[in-house]
Amino acid sequence: MIDTLAVVGATGAVGRIIVTMLLERQFPAKRIKLLASARSAGKPFEVAGRSLAVEELTPESFADVDIAIGSTPDEVAAEFVPWAVERGTVVVDESAFYRMDPDVPLVIPEVNPEALAAHKGIIASPNCSTTQMVMVMKPLHDAARVKRVIVSTYQAVSGAGLPATQELEQGAAAWLAGHAPKPAIFPHPIAANLIPQIGSPRPNGFTSEEMKMVLETRKILGDESIAVSATCVRVPVANGHSESILIETEKKLSADEARRLLAGFPGIVVTDDLGAKRYPMPRDASGRDEVFVGRIREDISCPNGIALWCVSDNLRKGAATNAVQIAEHLARHWTGRPGGAKAGGRPVQA
């Protein structure tokens, strides 16, 4: 058991889920400290039927913190993570800021827990869309080595925050009433629409979200030769990301072999009966920690291809659950505070 765990960004959508999970799973810490911006500190914070205190995030907040889970924008992570590491805190960071830093492990506990041993005070949790895809890739990669992946994502508005969810609700009401929805969070109306851009443009014509899936996948699986092509689309779904994936392997796998490998992998649930109209959908995944897989079939365009569909709650396994699992692993193997290790090198942005 550790003495103190801190949640940075505790009052946000993902932060609230993290706090709830820590309480529900009885995280092995004597104390849980909640940290947020000055505007949120001191205000009543109700979660899991309990009223908890929220403190202002400052450099001295980490003086007595063993492990911190950060759920903040990149610019906040860039500021607070060095504060924490300099004071001997191990940080599990949800932001994208440190993910491609070569000194920072990028971890999905079911996939590459061995990477945790190399941390220098910072551990990064991957992008939500990357996480569910790599969960699906891992058992197939171990059995037959993945050579190439083509993925199209159908990403829920919750991935853009609570205001984005409210924009979908308000826009849907306006559209149903015959009015033109007015976007504020998204560049175009999201109600009754699809937006084929998530993130900023990159020089190669892809977006930052798409390049995260490319670069993070290779880092997590430790294989720079894996070819990944991603198209990321925002869809008018409240919660739960979906992905259509074609996975090409070096060794041929039958659909039955792929189904068996996936069903036996921790954290994956196979729901696959097309005749009975049984396959994963965002409604089924919302509020769950697993990655759900269906529509598993041998591809007809390449000899060693497996096509499938996967769905996951992007706020849970795509964010909160993965970070809590990393923190639980650290707590189980806790040997004491690292004693002020400095933050890793300059992050490489995708």
- Active-site positions? 128, 241
Measured distance CA(301)–CA(279) in Å, rounded? 22
Task: Give SS3 for 325.
Answer: helix
Angle, vertex CA 218, rays to CA 213 and CA 220, nearest 5: 95
Measured distance CA(236)–CA(264) in Å, rounded? 32
Structure tokens at 100: 């491609």
Largest CA-CA distance found in the chain, in angstroms, rounded? 62
Measured distance CA(291)–CA(96) in Å, rounded? 21
Structure tokens at 344: 């890793």
Report the first-to-last Cα separation within the chain, whole angstroms. Answer: 36
| Inter-residue contact 232 to 209 (CB < 8 Å) | yes
Helices 321-332 and 13-24: crossing angle, nearest 10°?
40
What's the distance, CA 307 to chain centroid? Answer: 22
- Using the structure block, give the residue that is written with the tokens 């924009």: 167
Measured distance CA(8)–CA(67) in Å, rounded? 11
| Inter-residue contact 68 to 99 (CB < 8 Å) | no
Helices (H), 145-297: 162-176, 208-221, 255-263, 282-285
Measured distance CA(135)–CA(241) in Å, rounded? 14
- Using the structure block, give the residue that is written with the tokens 């080595």: 145
Helices 208-221 and 128-144: crossing angle, nearest 10°?
40
Q: Measuring CA to CA, how many Å separate 25 from each of 21, 31, 48, 66?
A: 6, 14, 12, 18
